[in-house]
C-alpha cells in the first residue's frame, strides 16, 4: 500500500507537468490583462467569458473550424476508402508488382518531410490547386496510404479464407463478398485507420501552411499562430482563449474515444 502510494505520487508529479500548462492557459483565458500581469497563479477573480467571444469573432475561429472540419472530413473519408480497397486487393488477390509496392510502402516511412516539402508545393501550383480544399486533402490521402494499406491488408488477411469461399459458393459476386461480408468484419482496423488519419489531419500545421497563401483557407493550427502574433492588439486574454478554443475539440474527441485512440496509436506503431 505504501509502495502504491509512492508510485502514485511520482506519477502525479509527471501528470502535473503534462496538465499544468493547459490549466495555466485555461486560467489566463478568463482574466483581464491587468490581472494576468499581476498574478498568474491565482484563478481568475471574475470570469471574463467575453475573452472567448472576442477570440471567436476577432480571430475568425468560425472560419478556421469550418476549414479544418472540411479538410479532416474528406481527408479521413477518402483516405480510409482508398486504403480499404487497396488493402483488400493486397490481401485477397495475386497481381504483378505486389511485392514491389509492399516494399515501397514500408520504405517510405523513412522519407523525411524536407524532401517532399518543396515539390508538393510545386505540384499543387502547377495543377492550380493552391488555396483549394482539394490541394490540401490530396497529400493527406497519400499520407495515410502506406500505413493504411498495410494495416487493412493485415486485417483482411487474418480473416479465415472459408468465409469468402463459402460466400462465393452461395453465388455472391466479388464486390458483394467484399462489401457485405468481409468489410464489416474489419471494423476495428478501419476505426484504427480513421483515428490515425483524424489525428494527422486535424493537428497538421505544415501542409496547410504550404498549400495556401490565402488566409481564408487557413486551418485551426495556423489560425492560432496568426492570432498569437497579434497578442498586443487583441490582448492576452483573448489569445489564451484562442488557445483553449483550438485544443478543446480534439481533447473532447480524445476523451470520448480514449480506448480507441490508444489502440489505434499502438497498432499504428507496432504494425507499421
Partner 1 sequence: MTSRASWKEMGLAYLMIFPALFFFVLYLVYPLLKSLRMSLYDYSGIGSLTDFVGLDNYAEALADKQFYNAMANNFALMAIELAVSLTVAFVLAYFLYRGVFGWKFFNVVLFLPYIIPLSVSAIIWTSIYEPNIGLLNTFLDKIGLDSWKRVWLGSTDTSLYSVIAVWIWRTIPFNMLILLGAMLKIPKEMIEAARIDGCSGFRIVRYLILPLTAPTIGLLFILSVAYDFRAFDMVWVMTQGGPADSTQIASTLVYKLGFSQNEYGYANAIAFLVFAFVAAVASALMLVAKGVNAGLNRKRGTKL
Interface positions, 43-102, toward partner 1 (CB under 8 A): 81-83, 85-86, 88-90, 92-96, 101
Give the cell for residue 128. 492550380
Q: Where are the alpha helices (DSSP H) in 39-60?
A: 50-58
The residue range among 51-59, 137-145, 155-163, 179-187 that interacts with partner 1, by the rule CB under 8 A, is 137-145
| Contact call for residue 18 and partner 1 (CB under 8 A) | yes
- Minimum distance, C-beta of residue 46 to partner 1, in the bound complex (Å): 21
- Minimum distance, C-beta of residue 261 to partner 1, in the bound complex (Å): 7
Which residue in 61, 74, 76, 138 binds partner 1 (CB under 8 A)? 138
DSSP letters spanning 37-94 = HH-SSSPPSS--THHHHHHHHHTTHHHHHHHHHHHHHHHHHHHHHHHHHHHHHHHH--
Binding to partner 1 (CB under 8 A): which residues in 177-196? none
Binding to partner 1 (CB under 8 A): which residues in 205-224? 205-206, 209-210, 220-222, 224
Integer Cα distance of 104 and 170 in angstroms: 37
Nearest Cα to Cα of residue 31 among 39, 22, 21: 39
Integer Cα distance of 141 and 181 in angstroms: 25
Integer Cα distance of 272 and 110 in angstroms: 12
| Contact call for residue 232 and partner 1 (CB under 8 A) | no
Binding to partner 1 (CB under 8 A): which residues in 104-123? 104, 108-123
| Contact call for residue 257 and partner 1 (CB under 8 A) | no
The residue range among 46-54, 55-63, 141-149, 186-194 that interacts with partner 1, by the rule CB under 8 A, is 141-149
Residue whose grid cell is 524532401: 115
Between 7 and 157, whose beta carbon lies closer to partner 1? 7
| Contact call for residue 243 and partner 1 (CB under 8 A) | yes
The residue range among 58-66, 160-168, 183-191, 260-268 that interacts with partner 1, by the rule CB under 8 A, is 260-268
Between 4 and 99, whose beta carbon lies closer to partner 1? 4
Q: Where are the alpha helices (DSSP H) in 127-235?
A: 133-157, 161-169, 174-176, 187-203, 206-211, 220-228, 231-234
- Minimum distance, C-beta of residue 71 to partner 1, in the bound complex (Å): 13
- Minimum distance, C-beta of residue 221 to partner 1, in the bound complex (Å): 4
| Contact call for residue 150 and partner 1 (CB under 8 A) | no
Distance from first CA to last CA of the chain, Å, rounded? Answer: 39
Integer Cα distance of 193 and 64 in angstroms: 24
Amino acid at each position: 500500500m505504501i509502495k502504491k502510494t509512492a508510485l502514485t505520487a511520482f506519477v502525479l508529479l509527471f501528470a502535473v507537468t503534462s496538465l499544468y500548462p493547459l490549466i495555466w492557459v485555461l486560467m489566463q483565458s478568463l482574466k483581464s490583462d491587468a490581472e494576468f500581469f499581476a498574478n498568474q497563479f491565482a484563478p481568475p477573480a471574475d470570469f471574463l467569458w467575453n475573452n472567448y467571444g472576442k477570440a471567436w469573432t476577432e480571430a475568425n475561429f468560425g472560419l478556421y473550424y469550418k476549414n479544418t472540419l472540411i479538410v479532416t472530413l474528406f481527408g479521413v473519408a477518402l483516405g480510409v476508402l482508398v486504403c480499404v480497397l487497396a488493402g483488400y486487393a493486397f490481401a485477397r488477390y495475386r497481381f504483378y508488382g505486389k511485392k514491389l509496392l509492399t516494399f515501397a510502402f514500408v520504405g517510405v516511412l523513412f522519407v523525411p518531410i524536407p524532401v517532399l516539402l518543396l515539390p508538393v508545393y510545386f505540384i499543387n501550383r502547377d495543377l492550380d490547386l493552391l488555396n483549394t480544399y482539394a490541394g490540401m486533402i490530396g497529400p493527406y490521402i497519400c499520407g495515410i496510404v502506406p500505413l493504411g494499406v498495410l494495416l487493412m491488408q493485415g486485417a483482411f488477411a487474418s480473416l479465415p479464407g472459408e468465409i469468402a469461399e463459402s460466400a462465393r459458393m452461395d453465388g455472391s459476386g466479388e464486390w458483394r463478398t467484399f462489401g457485405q461480408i468481409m468489410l464489416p468484419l474489419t471494423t476495428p482496423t478501419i476505426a484504427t485507420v480513421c483515428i490515425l488519419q483524424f489525428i494527422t489531419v486535424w493537428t497538421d500545421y505544415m501542409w496547410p501552411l504550404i498549400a495556401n497563401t490565402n488566409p481564408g483557407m487557413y486551418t485551426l493550427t495556423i489560425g492560432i499562430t496568426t492570432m498569437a502574433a497579434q497578442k498586443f492588439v487583441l490582448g492576452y486574454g483573448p489569445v489564451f482563449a484562442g488557445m483553449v478554443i483550438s485544443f478543446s475539440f480534439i481533447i473532447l474527441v480524445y476523451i470520448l474515444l480514449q480506448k480507441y485512440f490508444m489502440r489505434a496509436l499502438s497498432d499504428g506503431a507496432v504494425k507499421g
